[in-house]
Amino acid sequence: MCGIAGLLGLDVAPGPEPEDLVRQMIDLQSHRGPDGRGLFRDRQVVLGHCRLAIVGLGEAGRQPMTSRDGRWTIVFNGEVFNYPELREQLGGPFASSTDTEVLLAACAAWGVEGALGRVAGMFAFALWDARERVLTLARDRYGEKPLVHFWDGRTLGFASEMKALAPLHDATLDPVAVDAYLALGYVPAPLAIFQRCAKLPAGHLLRLAPGEAPRPVRWWCPPRASATVNDGAGRQEALREQVARAVGQRMRADVPIALCLSGGVDSSVIAAECRRQGHRPEAFTIAFAKQDPGALFASKVAEGLDLRHEVIEIPEIRIADELVPLAGLYDEPFADSSAVPSYVLARALAGRYKVVLNGDGGDETFGGYRHYEWIAAKQAIKAMAAAAGLCDGAGSGPAGVYLQSKVTFRAAERQQILAERAAGNVFAAERSALWLETTEENALRRALRTDRHLGLANGLTYKMDIALGAFGIEGRAPFLDHRLIEWTQGLADGDLVCGSEKKVLLRAAYARELPAEVLARPKQGFGAPIDRWLTGPLRELRQALLPCPLLAPGGQRGWSGQKLWTLLLFAAWARQWRAKW
Which residues face 194 on adjacent strands? 173
Please tell me the distance from the alpha carbon of residue 238 to that of residue 240, in angstroms, as a whole number.
5
Q: Which amino acid is it at 97?
A: S
Mean per-residue pLDDT for 134-160? 97
Note the pLDDT of residue 213.
Answer: 92
Helix axes 375-387, 397-404, angle to 10 degrees: 90
Element of type H or E holding 234: none
pLDDT for 425 equals 78
Q: Is the dihedral of CA 518, 520, 526, 527 positive or negative?
A: negative
430 pLDDT above the threshold of 60: no
Which residues make Cβ contacts (< 8 Å) with residue 531, sequence separation at least 6?
560, 561
pTM of the model: 0.94
Q: Which residues contact 149 (CB under 8 A, 6 or more apart)?
A: 137, 156, 157, 158, 159, 165, 197, 198, 199, 200, 206, 214
Q: Is 137 left (phi over 0), alpha (psi -120 to 50) or beta?
A: beta
The identity of residue 26, as a single letter, is I
Lowest average pLDDT, out of 16-25, 432-441, 563-572, goes to: 432-441
Query: How many residues can be counted in the chain?
Result: 581
DSSP per residue, 155-217: EEEEESSGGGGGGGS--BBPHHHHHHHHHHSS--TT--SBTTEEEPPTTEEEEE-TTPPP--E
Distance CA 277, CA 274 (A): 5
- Is pLDDT of 372 > 60? yes
pLDDT band for position 232 (cuts 50, 70, 90): low
The values of phi and psi at residue 282, to 5°, are -70, 135
Asked whether the predicted pLDDT for residue 557 surpasses 80, the reply is yes
CATH numbers and ranges of domains, the chain: 3-218 (3.60.20.10), 235-369+456-519 (3.40.50.620)
The DSSP bridge pattern shows strands 37-42 and 217-218 to be unpaired
| DSSP output for 431-495 | HHHHHH-----SHHHHHHHHIIIIIIIIIIHHHHHHHHHTTT-EEE-GGG-HHHHHHHTTS-GGG
Q: For residue range 469-512, list pLDDT tens digits in order.
A: 999 999 999 999 999 999 999 999 999 999 999 999 999 999 99
Query: Which SS3 state, helix, strand or coil, does residue 400 take?
Result: helix
Convert the pLDDT of each residue in 376-427 to its tens digit.
998 889 889 888 888 888 777 787 888 888 899 999 999 999 999 998 778 8
- The band of 290, judged by pLDDT with boundaries at 50, 70 and 90, is low
Q: What is the CA radius of gyration of the chain?
A: 23
Cα 128 from chain centroid (whole Å): 25
Asked whether residue 265 carries a pLDDT value surpassing 70, the answer given is yes
Q: Are 369 and 451 in contact (CB under 8 A)?
A: yes
The residue among 421, 468, 331, 387 whose CA lies nearest residue 25 is 331
Least confident range of 50-54, 219-223, 235-239, 401-405: 401-405
Look at residue 396 and give its three-state secondary structure.
Answer: coil
The alpha carbon of 284 is separated from its chain's Cα centroid by a whole number of angstroms, namely: 20
SS3 content of the chain, % helix, strand, coil (to 5): 45, 15, 40
